[in-house]
Amino acid sequence: MTDAPTTTTTEVLDGVDLAGRTALITGATTGIGKETARALAAAGATVVITARTDEKGEAAVTELVELVPGGDISYEVLELGSLESVRAFSDRFMAQHDRLHLLIANAGIMFAPEGRTVDGFELHFGTNHVGHFVLVGRLIPLLVASAPARVVILSSGGHHASDIVWDDLAFDERPFNKMEAYGQSKTANVLHAVELDRRLAPLGVHAYSVHPGMVRTDLGRTITRDDIADLQARAAGAGGLPPQVGVDVGAATSVWAATAPELEENGGSYLADCGVSVAADYAVDPAAAVRLWALSEELVDESFPDPSAEPDD
């Protein structure tokens, strides 16, 4: 077992001034998303968080403003499992904001029972990847207009549980396995960052995927004893499960990815413990990243042209 990370969000942002920067963080009413919002707001950023309901959004903003007096923090309702909600949110955000410097795709589900989104996607893949794919794609013009800008996509070491199963994304032809479903969605998150950076880096927008570590949050509320046993068995060959950390440590790599100047030369990287890390080969394969982008466009019936390939007027 490796030693637990210790770097906190406060340490990462010591001396960092984000005044004039706008950050959007999905799923920031609890856990590391909320801590990411607190840390960025404390450093001076204008922060917009997303919540699944008005009630959750209002409660989170109230608490965040108490933690960061005078902080510019607001919320919008977004349900990533509904493309109608994603598109409505993106339209509202584009109408209300002319800049977006930091987009942190933090929201997600883990080890949920078998299910589908309202659009028919396997629940993990649809929520963790497809919803964010459409959201980020629709906000690309704002990111490019705000360059230098960054996109941070929360993945997980759990991506090692599964590559993309291209001919059976939704477990139609194989028994459902929540570890593999989660792993496939987290692999998609890494590949999304790889292709996003390839497309946007020439325009001053970098993308990164992040493994936050084993963090004590309510994300694992659906985990059963059998799931824990499965996790332990899968991790045995790698020395066992890593130690759990608090949200101030779990969110540190997200804020580091969003702000660290030394990452300018490492676009598309998979990050962990406030450093460049190593993902499974299949998760960083550029050809697979291109394939996933094309497949995702097909699945959502919406295209996001490569702005770096478009000729200047």
Domain contains 310: no
Give Cβ neighbours of residue 301 (< 8 Å, ≥ 6 apart).
Answer: none
Name the catalytic one among 75, 182, 208, 270.
Answer: 182
Query: To the nearest 10°, the Cα dihedral for 99, 105, 106, 107?
Result: 110
Give Cβ neighbours of residue 254 (< 8 Å, ≥ 6 apart).
Answer: 32, 36, 104, 106, 152, 154, 210, 212
**Catalytic: 282?**
no
Domain contains 147: yes
Domain contains 20: yes
Choice between 172 and 308, residue whose per-residue pLDDT is larger: 172
Domain residue limits at 72: 9-298
> What per-residue confidence (pLDDT) applies to 20?
97
How many domains does one find in the chain? 1
Helices and strands (DSSP H and E) totals, the chain: 11, 10
Residue 43 has pLDDT above 70, yes or no: yes
Domain contains 218: yes
What is the average per-residue pLDDT within 106-122?
A: 96
Domain contains 307: no
> What per-residue confidence (pLDDT) applies to 238?
55
What's the CA gap between 69 and 42, in Å, rounded?
Answer: 9
pLDDT category of residue 228 using cuts at 50, 70 and 90: low
Domain contains 243: yes
Domain contains 312: no
What is the average per-residue pLDDT within 20-42?
A: 97
pLDDT category of residue 213 using cuts at 50, 70 and 90: confident
Residue 82 has pLDDT above 90, yes or no: yes
pLDDT category of residue 309 using cuts at 50, 70 and 90: confident
Give pLDDT tens digits for 229-249. 665 565 555 555 566 788 999
Write the CA distances from 266 to 9, 96, 183, 204, 271, integer angstroms.
Answer: 20, 31, 24, 13, 10
Domain contains 311: no
> What per-residue confidence (pLDDT) applies to 276?
97
Residue 88 has pLDDT above 60, yes or no: yes
Candidates 32, 25, 69; CA nearest to 47 is 25
3-class DSSP state of 44: coil
Model-level pTM? 0.92
Here the CATH number for the domain that contains residue 233 is: 3.40.50.720
Candidates 262, 148, 128; CA nearest to 197 is 148
> What per-residue confidence (pLDDT) applies to 1?
44
